[in-house]
């Protein structure tokens, strides 16, 4: 996973709430067995509409997505994170994310930032006034800034550390193999296993 | 004095492998369910790192999302679907994971298969790369959906680093009126708290109306917890739970010891929840959705709501957009909405009881000539059980299509899809734009409403027949 410390880019103001993962990437695109190439499925249904904001030339190279409340609801498909990343997004800002989407993002190094809805509105207005506005996201300082405005955001220390170091979760957990072994020895014998039965 | 614990806290505490200040807890996973869509990249990750599956004996796979519901004895026609299913078969063989393939008697939707094998038991932690894993919470198991990176993590370590969720009690008291089902309970809850209302919480469904539900109805409630934003939903196990598990293939051999433990799995009287919601079961009616998220629902006897009457600008905008997509006018009676396709199935309502109640409504009647009805059992065993009871004949005689088991039209990854502009009454869980096929329009309903709608051609309940 790439380390994330700061990012400077332009942003896409997506004035929609409840953007579910079926909209981020429809199921028909989930049949692939690879982790790349999902950018063609990103917002596939909406992108058929030439008026959809991502189709506007000024927003095509945006790397920060600013969306309405409840972004990433629905299906657990991590393909939604891959589609956003494969397209070129590095940061998603919203006032609330669905839990599974937010967890998936953190695993893959896509930074999700929660700010109050009034700050989302501020960002939308600023971006709409100037689509080329450079926005700086500083994970170290936990700030989003543009022009003379700085918005602070909260993120737990552990996730921030992992993203800034670009650490692989599995590698971290495997350091606890002794604890896992010890736990397994104490599991009750009535817990089921999936071993095939002769029935 | 020690504070009492909620059920979720008890299960959590039993599974902490390692905890440290400022870090997520490392939680042990008792059962990992796998299907073809969210696992290929996880197995690839293992291969790249040279890691084995840590506990193949706590892992089980089934084919469900891509599988066709017709001609299952022939190769899968869509080459991309076929590759994904073949990849699962190859991965399971290579890593030693038990797999129930298409055509196998234990194949079916992953969340139907777990309980029917008796692998879903109280007090367990269960995960799957599928958000409807919350279904298993009906047994008093902490069960939730995960992404593919987490699938790989569980395969490699049988654990997950997790931040402890908050707890919310949803008290449903009173007796349901006839014709009102568990699907209506959960749709009403989601309409009340919204699609983000449960975000960050484990929901525990409690109260006399929940206790009165069968195990399969409880699964319907827990299944849609994710539609309220909650990763997991829970119901404390009771005699009904034990009875359901008893005799299942993987039921514990040391039964008494298991039941003694399961009987400790309830929220203590002096425990406190982080939030509480109260629902009066007596006030509930058959419920349907009119919009494009599961929170946009209303009683069947009401009208399509008027967005201009919604105070919150965000919700108003969403409702306006939804009505355009759904091609509905504010004020239209929901019962006047004409349906093209009825879908009975999915991990929400594809179990034997769902088929029984729908067949009971359809018996001796014909479905409307203006629509098609797909009946898709949740698993091969559900299908066989239904056939042994003659339910298949009821559906076929009524003019419905009797299909093979799988996820089918719930998400249309296989050929079962809505056409552009087509409108469904569906017993599934999501009415998102294009969920059941590009340009398709979905109304979420209970199996009772699905069956009555199939007969009348417009959204209806059995009371309208």
- Chain A environment of B156 (Cβ under 8 Å): 170, 173-174
For chain B, the residue count is 465
- Chain B environment of A23 (Cβ under 8 Å): 432-434
Q: Do A27 and B412 touch (CB under 8 A)?
A: yes
> How many CA atoms does the CB half-sphere of B108 hold within 13 Å?
26
- Chain B environment of A73 (Cβ under 8 Å): 195-196, 229, 293
Q: Do A100 and B258 touch (CB under 8 A)?
A: no
CA distances, B320 to each of B308, B309, B315, B326 (Å) = 8, 11, 9, 10
Contact B176, B209 (CB under 8 A): yes
pLDDT score recorded for residue A197: 73
The C-alpha of B363 sits at a distance from chain A's nearest C-alpha, in angstroms, of 35
A76: nearest CA partner in chain B:
B131
The C-alpha of B377 sits at a distance from chain A's nearest C-alpha, in angstroms, of 21
Is A31's Cβ below 8 Å from some Cβ in B?
Answer: yes
Is B26's Cβ below 8 Å from some Cβ in A?
Answer: yes
The C-alpha of A97 sits at a distance from chain B's nearest C-alpha, in angstroms, of 8
- DSSP string for B162-224: EPPPEEEEEEEES-PPTT--HHHHHHHHHHHH-TTTTTTEEEEEESHHHHTS-HHHHHHHHHG
As to burial, measured by CB atoms within 10 angstroms (0-12 exposed, 13-18 middle, 19+ buried), residue B300 is: buried
CB contacts under 8 A, B 186-205 vs A, are 195-196, 199-200
- Chain B environment of A180 (Cβ under 8 Å): 17, 26, 28, 54, 157-159
Q: Do B147 and A76 touch (CB under 8 A)?
A: yes
pLDDT digits (tens, 9 = 90+) for B405-447: 999 999 999 999 999 999 999 999 999 999 999 999 999 999 9
Closest partner residue to B37 among A16, A30, A199, by Cβ?
A30
Give me A113's structure tokens.
């930032």
Residues in contact with B82: Cβ distance below 8 Å, sequence separation at least 6, in sequence order: B75, B76
Distance CA B416, CA A44 (A): 20
Is B48's Cβ below 8 Å from some Cβ in A?
Answer: no
Distance CA B92, CA B236 (A): 33
Which residue ranges in chain A fall short of pLDDT 70?
Answer: 198-199
Closest partner residue to B149 among A26, A96, A107, by Cβ?
A107
pLDDT score recorded for residue B1: 52
pLDDT score recorded for residue A9: 98
Which residue ranges in chain B fall short of pLDDT 70?
Answer: 1-2
Q: Do B37 and A20 touch (CB under 8 A)?
A: no
Is B256's Cβ below 8 Å from some Cβ in A?
Answer: no
CA B145-B447-B381 angle, 5° bins: 65
The C-alpha of A169 sits at a distance from chain B's nearest C-alpha, in angstroms, of 8
What is the interface pTM, i.e. ipTM, of the complex? 0.94
pLDDT score recorded for residue B2: 64
pTM > 0.95 = yes
User: Scanning the structure block, which residue is given the tokens 């919203």?
Assistant: A94
Calculated CA dihedral for residues B263, B266, B269, B273, nearest 10 degrees: 170
Closest partner residue to B434 among A22, A76, A172, by Cβ?
A22
User: What's phi and psi for B308, nearest 5 deg?
Assistant: -65, -15
pLDDT digits (tens, 9 = 90+) for A114-134: 999 999 999 999 999 999 999
- Chain A environment of B250 (Cβ under 8 Å): 192-194, 197
Q: Do B26 and A98 touch (CB under 8 A)?
A: no
DSSP B228: G
A22: nearest CA partner in chain B:
B435
Closest partner residue to B38 among A26, A78, A96, by Cβ?
A78
Distance CA B217, CA B238 (A): 14
- Chain A environment of B230 (Cβ under 8 Å): 99
Q: Left if phi > 0, otherwise alpha if psi is -120 to 50, otherwise beta: which for A37? A: left
Q: If we measure between CA atoms, which residue out of A80, A150, A43, A170 comes closest to residue B26?
A: A170
pLDDT score recorded for residue A188: 95
Q: Do B257 and A188 touch (CB under 8 A)?
A: yes
- Chain B environment of A96 (Cβ under 8 Å): 196, 199
Is B159's Cβ below 8 Å from some Cβ in A?
Answer: yes
């Amino acid at each position: 996973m790439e380390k994330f410390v700061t990012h400077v880019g332009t942003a896409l103001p997506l004035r929609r709430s409840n953007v579910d993962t079926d909209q981020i990437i429809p199921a028909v695109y989930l049949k692939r067995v690879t982790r790349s190439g999902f950018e063609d499925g990103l917002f596939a249904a909406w992108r058929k509409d030439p008026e959809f904001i991502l189709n506007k030339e000024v927003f095509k190279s945006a790397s920060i997505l600013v969306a309405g409340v409840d972004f990433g609801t629905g299906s657990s498909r991590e393909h939604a994170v891959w589609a956003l990343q494969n397209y070129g997004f590095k940061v998603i800002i919203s006032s609330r994310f669905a839990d599974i989407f937010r967890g998936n993002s953190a695993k893959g190094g896509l930074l999700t930032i929660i700010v109050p809805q009034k700050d989302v509105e501020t960002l939308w207005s600023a971006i709409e006034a100037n689509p080329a506005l450079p926005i700086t996201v500083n994970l170290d300082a936990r700030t989003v800034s543009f022009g003379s405005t700085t918005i602070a955001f909260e993120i737990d220390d552990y996730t921030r550390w992992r993203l800034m170091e670009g650490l692989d979760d599995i590698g971290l957990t495997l350091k606890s193999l002794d604890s896992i072994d010890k736990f397994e020895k104490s599991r009750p014998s009535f817990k089921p296993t999936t071993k095939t039965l002769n029935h | 004095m020690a504070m009492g614990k909620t059920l979720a806290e008890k299960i959590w505490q039993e599974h902490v492998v390692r905890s440290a200040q400022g870090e997520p807890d490392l939680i042990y996973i008792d059962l990992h369910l796998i299907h073809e869509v969210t696992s290929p990249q996880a197995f690839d990750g293992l291969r790249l790192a040279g890691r084995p599956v840590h506990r193949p004996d706590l892992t089980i796979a089934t084919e469900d999302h891509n599988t066709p519901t017709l001609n299952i004895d022939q190769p899968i026609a869509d080459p991309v679907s076929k590759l994904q299913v073949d990849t699962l078969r190859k991965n399971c063989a290579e890593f030693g994971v038990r797999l129930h393939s298409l055509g196998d008697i234990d194949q079916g939707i992953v969340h139907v298969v777990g309980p029917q094998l008796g692998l879903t038991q109280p007090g367990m932690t269960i995960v799957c790369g599928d958000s409807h894993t919350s279904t298993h919470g009906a047994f008093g198991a902490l069960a939730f959906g995960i992404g593919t990176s987490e699938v790989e993590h569980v395969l490699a370590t049988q654990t997950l680093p997790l931040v402890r969720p908050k707890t919310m009690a949803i008290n449903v008291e009173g007796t349901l009126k006839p014709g009102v089902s568990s699907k209506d309970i959960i749709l009403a809850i989601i309409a009340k708290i919204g699609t983000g209302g449960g975000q960050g919480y484990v929901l525990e469904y409690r109260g006399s109306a929940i206790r009165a539900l069968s195990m399969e109805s409880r699964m319907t409630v827990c299944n849609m917890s994710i539609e309220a934003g909650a990763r997991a939903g829970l119901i404390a196990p009771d005699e009904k739970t034990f009875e359901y598990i008893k005799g299942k293939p993987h039921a514990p051999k040391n039964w008494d010891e298991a039941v003694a433990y399961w009987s400790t799995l309830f929220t203590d009287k002096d425990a406190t929840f982080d939030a509480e919601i109260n629902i009066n079961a007596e006030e509930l009616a058959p419920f349907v959705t009119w919009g494009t998220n599961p929170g946009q629902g209303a009683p069947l006897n009401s009208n399509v709501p008027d967005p201009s009457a919604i105070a919150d600008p965000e919700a108003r905008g969403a409702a306006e957009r939804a009505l355009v997509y759904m091609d509905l006018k504010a004020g239209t009676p929901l019962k006047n909405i004409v349906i093209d396709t009825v879908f009975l199935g999915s991990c929400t309502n594809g179990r034997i009881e769902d088929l029984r109640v729908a067949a009971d409504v359809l018996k001796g009647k014909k479905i409307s000539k203006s629509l098609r009805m797909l009946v898709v059992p949740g698993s091969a065993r559900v299908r066989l059980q239904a056939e042994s009871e003659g339910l298949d004949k009821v559906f076929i005689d009524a003019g419905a299509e009797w299909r093979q088991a799988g996820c089918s039209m719930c998400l249309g990854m296989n050929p079962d899809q809505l056409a552009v502009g087509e409108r469904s009454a569906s017993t599934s869980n999501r009415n998102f734009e294009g969920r059941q096929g590009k340009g398709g329009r979905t109304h979420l309903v209970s199996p009772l409403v699905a069956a009555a709608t199939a007969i009348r051609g417009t959204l209806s309940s059995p009371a309208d027949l």
